[in-house]
Amino acid sequence: MVETKKDVRQLSLEEIQEFFVSIGEKPFRGKQLYEWLWKKSAKDFDQMTNISLKVRDKLKEHFTINYIQVDEMQRSTDGTIKNAVKLHDGLIVESVLIPTSKRITACISSQVGCSLDCNFCATARLKRMRNLNPDEIYDQVVAIKEEGELYFDRPLTNIVYMGMGEPLLNYQNVIDSIEKITSPTGLGMSPKRITLSTVGIPKMIKRMADEEVKFNLAVSLHSAIDETRSRMMPINEKSNLSELLESLQHWYNKTGRTVTFEYVVWKGINDDEEHARALAKYCGKVASKVNLIEYNPIDDGEFQQAAPEKIEMYEQILESKRVVVNVRRSRGKDIDAACGQLANKS
């Protein structure tokens, strides 16, 4: 059954306090509820032991807490954990815990499905069903934080908005979730440990820059040649590489923070010197670094990972132009938890 009561987490602190006054309670009681909801990530009202039973009953009468449910958890041989997360309306998104020696990273989703049609990505095969609410994004982080503590005995250190969906097409909810994650009344994490990954929507990148957000930006570039990029990522036909560049320069001028370009090298598509040189030139125009990501095949289609010597060729050309480049190995491949594989097969 779909819950029809309002999720109490859609209320601001002020609105919660007003509700408490309306039921004859002191406003500071509202503060206690708010703390349970966000800082203590309460999953139901009965956990809130310092709130009287009478008030808890009143709350239950009026509101619900649509906490996400981890429907299925899979563990990879490399330690990566994938959660299939069920939302209150039965839809499912996926999120991933990536452990390394220094970090526990949460890779979280911002939309159910995706509308962008990048033709190498598994999520693109699902149609976009809806945006996630701030609390649904927040809950994914909390679930992974708890798994990190339980299975690795370590705190969550980083969050990447690199799961399903395009965060800049769900802008306000994503910003609100980050506000909660970084607030001392929420998880109190540093925005420096958060990275938003986007296909690259210039108008929204400029807006973020103007709002002086404090988190990091990654852009899925994959080619610095318009013709090639447009063939893989239809968004590039709406806003091309030069528009994207202009927005990134604006981002850097406003925030002073370097952009990370995510880039996959595919056999026969962008694995030649011309593409590598175009990338180096593009990087020369804005403060940036490059992550070369391994390709995770989603079917036996046209996309295949380029040969190792092609990756070396990229590294050499980029380094010769003083561009910082990292080669990133995939994690969680055996459970379909790697980049671009999130698609919820069930």
Q: How far is the C-alpha of 14 from the C-alpha of 154, rounded, in Å?
A: 34
Alpha carbon distances (Å) from 92 to 40, 111, 189: 24, 10, 26
- Whose Cβ is closer to ligand SAH: residue 182's or residue 236's? 236
Alpha carbon distances (Å) from 154 to 38, 143, 150, 151: 21, 14, 8, 8
Among 41, 140, 173, 220, binds ligand SAH (CB under 6 A): 220
Q: Does 199 bind ligand SAH (CB under 6 A)?
A: yes
Alpha carbon distances (Å) from 288 to 192, 227, 322: 16, 22, 11
For CA atoms 230, 167, 97, 87, give the dihedral sign.
negative
Task: Tell me if residue 121 is catalytic.
Answer: no
- Whose Cβ is closer to ligand SAH: residue 16's or residue 107's? 107
Least separation in angstroms between CB 198 and ligand SAH? 5
Cβ atoms of residues 173 and 110 within 8 Å: yes
Q: Does 197 bind ligand SAH (CB under 6 A)?
A: yes
- Whose Cβ is closer to ligand SAH: residue 29's or residue 331's? 331
Among 145, 163, 168, which Cα is nearest to 215's?
A: 168
Among 166, 236, 265, 317, binds ligand SAH (CB under 6 A): 166
Q: Does 120 bind ligand SAH (CB under 6 A)?
A: yes
Strands 69-75 and 81-86: antiparallel
Q: Does 318 bind ligand SAH (CB under 6 A)?
A: no
Instruction: State the amino acid at position 141 in one-letter form.
Output: V
Among 187, 298, 318, 335, binds ligand SAH (CB under 6 A): 298
Q: Name the segment binding ligand SAH (CB under 6 A); options: 31-39, 236-244, 288-296, 316-324.
A: 288-296
- Whose Cβ is closer to ligand SAH: residue 76's or residue 220's? 220
Among 94, 136, 262, 271, binds ligand SAH (CB under 6 A): 262
Least separation in angstroms between CB 61 and ligand SAH? 40
Phi-psi region of 322 (alpha: psi -120 to 50; beta: other; left: phi over 0): left
Task: Tell me if residue 114 is catalytic.
Answer: no
Least separation in angstroms between CB 129 and ligand SAH? 15
Compute how many residues bind ligand SAH; rule: CB under 6 A: 16
Least separation in angstroms between CB 158 and ligand SAH? 15
Least separation in angstroms between CB 220 and ligand SAH? 3
Among 140, 217, 138, which Cα is nearest to 177's?
A: 138
Among 93, 178, 248, 293, binds ligand SAH (CB under 6 A): 293
Strands 92-99 and 81-86: antiparallel
Alpha carbon distances (Å) from 160 to 194, 197, 217, 289: 6, 7, 10, 17
Least separation in angstroms between CB 60 and ligand SAH? 37
Q: Which residues are catalytic?
A: 94, 339
Residues at the interface with ligand SAH (CB under 6 A) = 120-121, 162, 166, 197-199, 220, 262, 264, 293, 295-296, 298, 339-340
